Structure 1
Amino acid sequence: MTLRVFRKLCLAASLVLAAGPVLAETAQTHEQRIDRLTDSMVVLMPFGTIFESVAAADPSWPAMERADEISARQLVCLRGELSTEGYRRYARGMVQVYADANPGRLDSDIALVESGVAEMFGKLVLAGAEGERTGVQADPEQLLAGYAPEQLEAFMTFFSAEEHAGLRELAGLGNQLNTAKSAEENEAAGEQLGSALAGKLMARAMDTCGVKLP
């Protein structure tokens, strides 16, 4: 091996070693973005909060009348899966797939949902769930009254712009809710979406916890 070749090999090795921390930092940044988008998805669709509220009111939930068919360990597992942390694990898996397929969209997606979109829709979802429980429906306009015009515009854009179709799909909304529909149509669509996603999460929890009911 000549001295020139040796020097070239050393230079190549030093470049690879120098690139190592940069690559690690890039990967970490990607993971941090995934965490941020996951946090917003959990706020936007607060199923964990809703499940925890129901669980707090009924120690036998979600087994209830079928408690004899579910072991104590399975019940603990189910309640853990149907919680904010359990929902976050589910959401992060979905966000991971979305982020890996759409890395160039992450910054703009995060900026959009963190601008108030996730918080606003989460408020509406929680108010709707509370209305179902009490029979007293909240006024959406009052719930969103404290937000700035640009935040409300971002909220409308999230639900109407074709460029955000993938993000809406990630949130579990698809195109079922639309600014072109009437309030009554969106309310009915929202109830269907909520029931479908709750059923999906329940089925996932049962599978994870090994619960098989006839």
Structure 2
Amino acid sequence: MMMNYTMIALWGVVNVLQMYKMVRSIIVYEINRRRDKKLYAKNIYITRSDRSEIIVLAVALPMTPALMFMVHLLGDIGFHFLYDVGAFLFTCFLLYVFNETAGSYTKISPEGFEEDNGHDNKTFYPLNAIDKVTYTQSSDSEISDSVSFDTKSGKRIARFGPIYEGYPLLAMTRFRIENDRWPDMNNPEEAAQVKAWMNWSSTIPHIKDKEISGLAEVDM
């Protein structure tokens, strides 16, 4: 009986802490999205996970701790290694995925490309580190085409579907190809030109079926 009370208390604590973490992360996510819109005027383009993904995970996340709390509350099963340990590990896994989804972002700015995987693991590359741009056409109609950006030494800077967050970087790449230098996004005229190219017709035809390399000014 005492062990069952202990498990009720433990799962109750897990549920409360998880709910606190989840609510806090959602609030921070929404605050950041509002800030991202203001940064657009400064030629800083930030892309985050879709809100629908956050909602799905937010619904699924509390279910396991709540279920285990109710199981121990309604039945004196004590500590069950398979159920309790398995449920705890599954909860940790979902929390890891939730943190990654809610906290990850890509940032394209005049300084370069920054990416955070949601676990405080950030990578940054200046624009002039981009050396090679490759367009890959998907053979599956349900999977979008992708564009990858690599350094001179072959390190992958970024890879994403152009219809989602790639247009700013693609537009800057077109500017680099046509002007033999990267755009100065602090220059209103050059920034306006890049913004005008942030669409499919102004970017994809300029890189599709072409070998684009030799763009880098630094090696990383």
- TM value normalised by structure 1: 0.29
Larger fraction in helix:
1
TM-score between the two structures when normalised by the length of structure 2 = 0.29
Q: Which has the higher contact order (CA 8 A, sep 6+)?
A: 1
